[in-house]
Structure formats: structure tokens, C-alpha cells
Chain A
Amino acid sequence: DAGITQSPRYKITETGRQVTLMCHQTWSHSYMFWYRQDLGHGLRLIYYSAAADITDKGEVPDGYVVSRSKTENFPLTLESATRSQTSVYFCASSPPIGVLYNEQFFGPGTRLTVL
């Protein structure tokens, strides 16, 4: 399917476990982003990537690890999940500099609960 997908859509895990959230896009967009959405905070940037093998921290990166070995995939790993990481996670992608630069396209979200 064309577009941007996330898996799983829902995940329940326990404190201390490692969890990986997947994000896949079919547009060959250069930029990919991970955001988390929490009540009272809105959406906040965790990590982003400008291209394969290039990643950088956002506003709230602590406790998260990302990688981008292929342009189309941008997994987010919680190395040792904590209750404060219970949230809804959105992946987004954006074309390279050009006509649609700045436009972001969002995945459907992953609802993560850490018990």
C-alpha cells in the first residue's frame, strides 16, 4: 500500500522491556520524524532523520534510539520502557527541499501502554 504505515497500532508492554515501533513509507521521502502525543503537551519531536544513516535528536530523545539503514524505514526503539513513555507515537515523513518542502505526512499512530 502506498503511503506511510506504522506497526503495531497498539502495544502493551511492561516496565523494563525493549519495544520497537516500526514506520514505513513508500514515497522515498528524505525526511522522517517520530513524535509523541501526550495530554497537556501536544505533539513533541523525539528524533528525526534527514536521510538514510543520518539521524538527530529532537525535543524529547531520552530513553529512545532510532536507526535508518534504508530510506523507507525508520524504527523507534525504547531500550528499557518506563511508564512515562506511555503515549501515542506518530511517525511522519517529508519530501526533500523543493516544492513540497515543509509538508509532513503522518502515519496512523501507535498507542503504547507501559505497565
Chain B
Amino acid sequence: NEVEQSPQNLTAQEGEFITINCSYSVGISALHWLQQHPGGGIVSLFMLSSGKKKHGRLIATINIQEKHSSLHITASHPRDSAVYICAVKVRGADGLTFGKGTHLIIQP
């Protein structure tokens, strides 16, 4: 697979610091982190081509040389429970290539 995520499943307690990892094996022009709630809708959290981005309690980083990205959630909350999907825009391609997702459950 061109995009690998780990872990596949993660259960944590409220307040814990969460890290989800994404590795890819192709040249990319951008990497996306997406969130999919149980209702099914997909929301874009971040789009990265370098460095680090932060939005509220969410932080995304990317290391282009190592072909690796991480999504961090600080002070996790039950409402963060969702599937988090890493996707890459392969250089020269038009669509996205997706990882299989990380199913996160935050218990109160």
C-alpha cells in the first residue's frame, strides 16, 4: 500500500495525548488528514506540504524526507472519537490516495 497508517485502532482515556501516524512510499504534492464521524461525513482537518499546522487541540506534522506524518490530539475528549484518515496527493495525479484509517475511541 502506498499509504500506511498506525495504529488501526486506538482506545484511550479522556485527557490523554493521542498520536496517529502515517507513512507513504510515493512522491507527493500534499498530505491530508481527514476526520470521519460515525454519521459518515468526511471533514478535512489539515492539508500539509511541509512543516507543522495547528488548529485548536489538533496538531499535524510532516517530514518530507522521511515520508512520514503524524496527527496529534492534545487533551483528548470523547467527541474526538472518529476515524482519522491520512490521504496523499501523489505528484502528477489528480485524485487522493488514502490510508485505511485509524479508528479512535476516547472513553470518558
Contact = CB atoms under 8 A, between A and B. Distances in A.
Interface of A: 31, 33, 35, 40-45, 48, 50, 56, 58-59, 88, 90, 102-106, 108-109, 111
Contacts of A43: 85, 87, 96, 98
B108 interface: no
Given A106-B44, A108-B41, 8 more contacts: A33-B94, A33-B96, A41-B100, A42-B85, A43-B96, A58-B95, A102-B29, A104-B44
B30 interface: yes
Contacts, number: 53
Given A48-B95, A102-B30, A40 B42 contact: no
A104 to B, nearest CB: 6
B92 interface: no
Contacts of A104: 32, 44, 96
Contacts of B51: none
Interface residues of B, number: 22
Contacts of A58: 95
B56 interface: no
A42 B99 contact: yes
A97 to B, nearest CB: 11
Residue in A42, A105, A106 with the greatest tally of chain B CB atoms within 10 Å:
A42
Given A40-B100, A42-B85, A109-B40, A103 B94 contact: no
